[in-house]
Amino acid sequence: MSKPKILIIDDEEAVRDTLENTLRREGYELFFAENGKEGLSVFKEVSPILVILDLKMPVMDGFEFLEEIQIKPTDHFSVTVLTGHGDHDEIRKSYALGVNTFVRKPYDFVELRCMVNRSIEMKRLELQQRQLIQADKMSTIGVMAAGVAHELNNPLSIAIGDIHLVTRDIHDLLGYINYLSKITLPSDVSEEVEKLRKEIDLPYIIGSIENKLSRCKDAAERAKEIVRRLKEFSHLDQGELVAVDINKGIESTLQIIPKDIKQEIEITTELAPLPEIPCYGRQINQVFLNIIVNACHAMESGGVLKIETSADNNYVYIKFRDNGPGIPEDKIKNIFDPFFTTKKLGIGTGLGLFISYSIVEKHGGSIVVENNYDKGVTFTIRLPKVMDI
């Protein structure tokens, strides 16, 4: 298990050294910053589970840092304010900005260690509970998905086949009508035919039939795609577990993205050297594909997608960061739910991220999504270097 990461932001070197001596022996991985601006950069890079924050600092103070990170109840981290200042108004403001605990300097070393240990354990339990709830949901839906896909597949195939046949027959019938319209009829019959043609508005009927058939075909094909994705989800155990080069998987996935999807998007990569890890390669590449296509759709007016990889002693990390419009905060918690989508009607099935979450979970990893502090969204995938099977 990787060490919990703690970020300490304080402009006093003596305080940073003391905290390092106090917490290093507890087995934490510590990171340091001298002000809020530097701390914000480190925070984005290392993704700590706990931030210990001073309030009074140069360049960017603690309150400005808190306003930048916009703490939410569902975040993977908590914040403890450690300050020698702090009147009642500052305490109230700190808690209003999402701070978890407030500690005054000088502090008791034993109490501080206990507080840190408790804060990290509480956040870990919260995250584990959230994962268990999601995993249970996925398991139940997986069984349902297999049944629904099986039951829908046959009648859907019949419907698609019939739409094709009806379309063919309608075209034949329209050809026959056009042929009849060219035949010279007696004047009295011709007048009656023309009158009837105007009454029923034949051109409108012809156009309407063609439009309705086209919509039926599109709807049926969309339903067929949903069934295909449900079947794919219910058979996630297919494939072979092999040693996979994640960087090569990303590069090969980028090569198959349709040009019309990424034509206005600049995609950059920053791929660190990585060891090969055990994966179901096709499935992991499908996750990459889903996230990349989602990002491109979100940035319909153009933008930048940056893909980064890194690793520590236990995990490989893949980050997809875009500068699109982001996801509304009231919807981000549902982003991995089946059939949930923020795309326009008719684009996507609402199953891509749901299946991606399931694949990553199956690999013993995790996938999280967060709105960036400036603009856009970041998806972070964590995959273990050693997989328990």
Residue 229 in domain: yes
**Which CATH number do you get for residue 28?**
3.40.50.2300
Residue 139 in domain: no
Whether residues 92 and 185 fall in one domain = no
Measured CA to CA in angstroms, residue 155 lies from 150, 160, 166 at distances of 10, 9, 16
Query: Which of 254, 265, 346, 268 minimizes the C-alpha distance to 301?
Result: 265
Whether residues 48 and 168 fall in one domain = no
Residue 129 in domain: no
Which secondary-structure segment (H or E) carries 45? helix 36-46
For 35, the domain range is 5-107
Whether residues 289 and 350 fall in one domain = yes
Sheet with 265-271: strands ordered across: 265-271, 303-311, 315-322, 377-384, 366-371
Looking at 85, 107, 129, the residue that finishes a domain is 107
- Which amino acid belongs to residue 29? E
Mean pLDDT of 177-206: 78
**How much is the pLDDT for 51?**
93
**How much is the pLDDT for 233?**
47
pLDDT in tens, 19-72: 888 888 888 889 999 999 999 989 888 888 899 999 889 999 989 999 988 888
- Other CB atoms within 10 A of residue 250 CB: 20
For the cut 90, the answer to whether the pLDDT of residue 197 exceeds it is: no
Whether residues 223 and 241 fall in one domain = no
Residue 140 in domain: no
Looking at 181, 205, 234, the residue that finishes a domain is 234
Overall number of domains in the chain: 3
Whether residues 228 and 242 fall in one domain = no
**Which CATH number do you get for residue 263?**
3.30.565.10
Whether residues 241 and 357 fall in one domain = yes
pLDDT in tens, 229-271: 655 545 444 556 788 899 988 988 887 777 777 777 899 999 9
Whether residues 159 and 202 fall in one domain = yes
pLDDT in tens, 266-325: 999 999 999 999 988 878 888 898 899 888 888 877 889 999 999 988 899 999 999 988
**How much is the pLDDT for 307?**
95
pLDDT in tens, 127-152: 767 655 555 555 555 556 666 666 67
Whether residues 198 and 268 fall in one domain = no
Whether residues 191 and 250 fall in one domain = no
Looking at 234, 269, 293, the residue that finishes a domain is 234
Cβ-contact 370, 351 below 8 angstroms: no
Residue 134 in domain: no
Whether residues 212 and 292 fall in one domain = no
Residue 136 in domain: no
Whether residues 272 and 159 fall in one domain = no
pLDDT in tens, 345-380: 444 545 678 888 888 888 888 998 888 877 889 999
Residue 389 in domain: no
Residue 300 in domain: yes
Whether residues 223 and 302 fall in one domain = no
Query: Which of 274, 256, 277 minimizes the C-alpha distance to 386?
Result: 277
